Structure 1
Amino acid sequence: MDRFALDTTAGALLHDLGISLPNVLRRAGQPADLLAHGPVTLESRDYFAFWEALEAEADSPDLVVRIGRSLSPEVFNPPMFAALCSRDLDTAARRLAGYKALIGPLRLDVTTGGTDLTLTCLWPDGHTPPPVLVIAELVFWVAMARIGTRHDVRPLRLTVPDVPDDTRPFLDYLGIDVEQAPRPAITFAADDAHRPFLTANELMWQYFEPELRKRLSEVNRDASTTDRVRAALLELLPTGQGTMQGVARSLAVSTRTLQRRLLRERTTFQAVLTDTRTTLAHRYLRDDDLTTEQISFLLGYDDPKSFYRAYRSWTGSTPARTRAERVAHMATGTARLATAAADSPS
């Protein structure tokens, strides 16, 4: 669950970019024949080191844009190629979100508003991916939309925690500037989200899906019961089915078996549920567009009062106070930066 897949098509992509794969692998501390015998999985630190080595070897501020321009069906791995069989970007995102575990522990949150589609990358706690990888994950969706529709699709907004020093390549490629925000996300207009993919092929999707399901079940089988329960809760909480019975149904086991397996891992369903809700609550509270009522719903509570009581028991604080402290902390940081800039010699 803490490993990322590196497909052999990475070699083809780097060749198209004019970047030496052996040099990148050497910089990353990996053997030169790493991909010679097929796809591999790397621990997070090694996968992040690969991207850092790629950035260093390229030594170019427009690396991510070059990757976006170079992407083609030939360098997509099976889950991504299957997404191109979808009827539109919205469907492709939802399909790929379901199989993201085949690529790594990164999750994709798909949110559809009345006038737009937002894709948010959710990195596991404790992971600090290189900024180049974070923004590449988002630019990928622009490339996907353009390949599928054969149209110059341009997003409405792209946000990352660490904005590149030189954003001119992104402005040229995306048609918009990169903005700073706590969560990496990209937003498309509804018209572009539902623009038909010329690559749509339902028969091909039906061919790919059973293999994807098989591979996903193998990944899940290797995961701990705690990880599987947490993954199930992420899907079930917004539906109000984040109960032990609901999770047991999702994992195709009895509640007694589920309890026994969790106890073997020295935890309980309630402990995993509380931990998952606490993590999600902190994440959602960083998004000022979400009201506490909406957060309450996303966490599977019937009414906001239950969420308030639970949050106070977890943290000793309230959602409103947590948000106020975050705003104050950000304001203090901005003031310090402004003071430092004013005091620095011109």
Structure 2
Amino acid sequence: MKLSVSGQYFQFLKSIDVDLDQLPESLRYQEDYQKEEFALSTLDYFHLLTALDELLTDEQILEMSRLKNIQMMPPFFAALSSKNGLMAIKHFAKFKRITGPIIVDIETFDDLVRVSYRYDYTGLELPRFAVLNEQHLILDMIRTGTGEAIKPVRIGVPFEYGQEALESFGCHVEYTEGNEIIFNKADLERPFITANNIMLDYLEPQLKERLAEAISGESFTGVVQQMLYKAIPSGEFSVEDIAVALGISSRTLQRNLSAEGTKFNQELQNVQKLLALSYLKKPEMTTDEVAYLIGYAEVSSFSRAFKKWTGMTITEYKNSTDD
């Protein structure tokens, strides 16, 4: 999908003392953060999340996770206009992809509601920044809507949170393989003081239209990237394989990529690199397994490619993620 990120987003980052010059060069927009919006692909957005993960403190992340501090976008208005927290989360989950390629999953039980997050591309794990930001944002949305200091039952994350973050949640936080924020269903059924049926009826048609545009507005490069994410684990990811899957000729595929300033092999390596970086963070996965999963028959070839991509050996990278 193709995304538009408001220039105000970057201005807000500057206002909380984030050094935008520390963003990767590919994410520096001609040193012009005054533009109204910036177009990002799904992979660009992931690069942004991982870059911010390296730059932001918990204090800065929490500042970004308070509705009063951020630019209120239509999905937030729709959520706050809902009759209660449960409906707010459902509305927000439905339209979340307008604001970014993060999927919100909701599970409803007898007395509990579980909310979790995942990235739109399989194989890319949400960084700590994104999970903390999303979990606190949805909690602040519930607190704002009810006007009460609602506390979750439990939070699960595959990271450690600092003391300030722990205090902001006010509940038990435990280490888990995935991420989750669990609420008492009764808390989510409390009526919203911000409920506004007229506003919700007005917003929903616009949001559905914007959601359709976001999903269908992906660049051709983005479509090829998405196909590669699905195809690489299967081992069938040659330019011919991807062209067949898209129903076009290899020449047409290459021509369309060239028109967007890239090449198939370049995009293949970009996706392989991101998958490798994600897999290598998992201590239970061996280098042999990672090499196989991203399409390398020989570990030596994967090792050479990894050094070319990152400037580090695989061992050096693993050690750096353990620090």
- The verdict on a shared fold, with TM-score over 0.5 as the criterion, is yes
Aligned equivalents of 1:135, 1:67: Cα separation in 2? 10
Q: 2:247 aligns with which of 248, 264, 276?
A: 264
> How far apart are residue 39 of structure 1 and its match?
2.7
Residue in 2 that maps onto 1:191: 186
Cα deviation per residue 1:259-290 (whole Å; 9 max; x = unaligned)? xx977369xxxxxxxxxxxxxxxxxxxxxxxx
Residue in 2 that maps onto 1:316: none
Q: 1:143 aligns with which of 140, 143, 160?
A: 140
1:144 and 1:44, CA in 2 relative to 1: closer, same or farther beyond 3 A?
Answer: same
Residue in 2 that maps onto 1:210: 205
* Contact kept in structure 2, 1:7 and 1:35, CA below 8 Å: no
Q: Aligned Cα RMSD in Å?
A: 3.0
Please tell me whether residue 179 in structure 1 is matched to residue 174 in structure 2: yes
Cα deviation per residue 1:171-220 (whole Å; 9 max; x = unaligned)? 21111242222221111111211111111111111111111111122234
* Contact kept in structure 1, 2:58 and 2:165, CA below 8 Å: no
> How far apart are residue 41 of structure 1 and its match?
3.2
Cα deviation per residue 1:279-333 (whole Å; 9 max; x = unaligned)? xxxxxxxxxxxxxxxxxxxxxxxxxxxxxxxxxxxxxxxxxxxxxxxxxxxxxxx
1:87 and 1:57, CA in 2 relative to 1: closer, same or farther beyond 3 A?
Answer: same
Q: 1:19 aligns with which of 17, 20, 31?
A: 17
Please tell me whether residue 168 in structure 1 is matched to residue 178 in structure 2: no
- AA aligned to 2:174 is E
Residue in 2 that maps onto 1:276: none
Q: 1:113 aligns with which of 100, 109, 119?
A: 109
Cα deviation per residue 1:112-161 (whole Å; 9 max; x = unaligned)? 11111111112231223321112211111111111111111111111122
- AA aligned to 1:145 is I
Aligned equivalents of 2:205, 2:146: Cα separation in 1? 25
- AA aligned to 1:42 is L
Residue in 1 that maps onto 2:87: 91
* Contact kept in structure 2, 1:170 and 1:177, CA below 8 Å: no
Question: Could you say what secondary structure the match of 1:72 adopts?
Answer: helix
Please tell me whether residue 41 in structure 1 is matched to residue 39 in structure 2: yes
Identity of aligned residues (%): 26
Normalised TM-score (structure 2): 0.60
Cα deviation per residue 1:3-55 (whole Å; 9 max; x = unaligned)? 55423442464366x324xx325524312655523233323443344344445
Residue in 1 that maps onto 2:9: 10
Matched length: 224
Question: Could you say what secondary structure the match of 2:148 adopts?
Answer: coil
Question: Could you say what secondary structure the match of 2:143 adopts?
Answer: helix
- AA aligned to 1:6 is V
**Structure 2, unaligned stretches of length 5 or more?**
227-243, 250-323
1:265 and 1:74, CA in 2 relative to 1: closer, same or farther beyond 3 A?
Answer: same
1:223 and 1:207, CA in 2 relative to 1: closer, same or farther beyond 3 A?
Answer: same
Residue in 2 that maps onto 1:154: 151
Question: Could you say what secondary structure the match of 1:158 adopts?
Answer: strand
Normalised TM-score (structure 1): 0.57
Please tell me whether residue 219 in structure 1 is matched to residue 214 in structure 2: yes
Aligned equivalents of 2:32, 2:184: Cα separation in 1? 40
**Structure 1, unaligned stretches of length 5 or more?**
231-260, 267-346
1:14 and 1:223, CA in 2 relative to 1: closer, same or farther beyond 3 A?
Answer: closer
* Contact kept in structure 2, 1:25 and 1:53, CA below 8 Å: no
* Contact kept in structure 2, 1:167 and 1:178, CA below 8 Å: no
* Contact kept in structure 1, 2:8 and 2:36, CA below 8 Å: no
1:167 and 1:47, CA in 2 relative to 1: closer, same or farther beyond 3 A?
Answer: same
1:171-320 aligned at under 5 Å gives the runs: 171-222=166-217, 264=247
Question: Could you say what secondary structure the match of 2:183 adopts?
Answer: strand
Aligned equivalents of 2:46, 2:125: Cα separation in 1? 9
